[in-house]
Every structure is written in C-alpha cells, then in structure tokens.
C-alpha cells in the first residue's frame, strides 16, 4: 500500500507541475493580450486545483503512514537533522501553504468582476503557489528515484 501511494504521489507531481504551468500561462496570456476569461481557462484552473488537492490528500495519507516521518519524530532529532526536518516539517508545511494559496487564488479570481482582474489574481496566486511547491520537491528523488 505504501509503495503504491508513493508511486501515485510521484506521478501526481507531474500533473501538478504541468497543470500549474498551463493555468499560469493561460492567465499570463489573458492578462498580456487583454483576453476575456474563458471556460477553457476556468477548466485549466480547476484541473490545476484538482491535481493539487489530490496530491495533498495522497501526501497527507503518506505523511501519517510513512516510516521516514515516524523515524523523524521518534529519533528526537527532528529539527537537528536536515533530512528529518525536510520530511517531517518543511515539505508538508510549505505544500499546505502553497495549496492554500492556489485555492485562495481560484476563489478570489472567480469572484472578480472583470477578466483582467481574474487573470491577474489567478496569475499571482498560482505563480506563488507553484514556486513554493517547486521549492519543496525533493528533486534528487523525483528525477533519480534510486538515490
């Protein structure tokens, strides 16, 4: 079960990345070229949000069943050991904040009245959220799983 969830979490990370890049690029293009906010943009924003929430759900389940997290807390070295701190605190905290910002961006942009405001708000919140997510992905494990 644990290895299946790790695999799903690893696959979903690419959905979050691609979904985020698509949503951000559509918002940027809409703002730059003064386009109307379309149903296509709404779907791309929703898709990004769904990937993020699914990834968060799988990540939270992993957090509570992960031997690495259990070891990090049991060792008493959580804040002294960089890898334990990353696994037990930094990764999950930053991801929750990032997905909260992405959710806020979606909600705020949907409530905006004009298209330019919708594009601007989603662009800002989605970009900050995606940057936070990118900052806390363990890239050495994402790209080279054997490490």
pLDDT at 140: 66
* pTM (predicted TM-score): 0.90
Per-residue pLDDT tens for 106-116? Answer: 999 999 999 99
pLDDT at 56 over 60: yes
User: How many Å apart are CA 74 and CA 57, to the nearest integer?
Assistant: 24
Q: Which domain holds residue 126?
A: 2-143
pLDDT at 147 over 50: no
Give the pair of three-digit tokens for residue 119.
């594009």
Structural domains in the chain (count): 1
Q: What percent of the chain has pLDDT over 70?
A: 95
Mean pLDDT of the chain: 91
pLDDT at 146: 44
Q: What angle do CA 98, 99, 102 make, to 5 degrees?
A: 90
66: region left, alpha or beta (phi > 0 left; psi from -120 to 50 alpha): beta
Per-residue pLDDT tens for 71-127? Answer: 888 888 888 888 888 888 999 999 999 999 999 999 999 999 999 999 999 999 999
User: How many Å apart are CA 93 and CA 25, to the nearest integer?
Assistant: 26
């Amino acid at each position: 079960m644990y290895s299946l969830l790790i695999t799903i979490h690893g696959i979903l990370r690419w959905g979050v990345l691609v979904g985020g890049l698509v949503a951000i690029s559509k918002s940027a293009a809409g703002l730059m070229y003064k386009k109307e906010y379309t149903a296509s943009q709404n779907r791309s924003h929703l898709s990004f949000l769904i990937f993020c929430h699914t990834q968060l759900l799988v990540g939270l389940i992993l957090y509570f069943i992960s031997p690495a997290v259990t070891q990090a807390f049991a060792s008493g070295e959580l804040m002294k050991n960089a890898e334990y701190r990353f696994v037990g605190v930094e990764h999950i905290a930053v991801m929750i904040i990032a997905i909260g910002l992405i959710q806020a961006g979606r909600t705020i942009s949907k409530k905006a009245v004009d298209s330019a405001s919708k594009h601007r708000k989603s662009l800002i919140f989605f970009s900050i959220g995606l940057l936070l997510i990118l900052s806390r992905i363990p890239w050495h494990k994402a790209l080279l799983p054997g490490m």
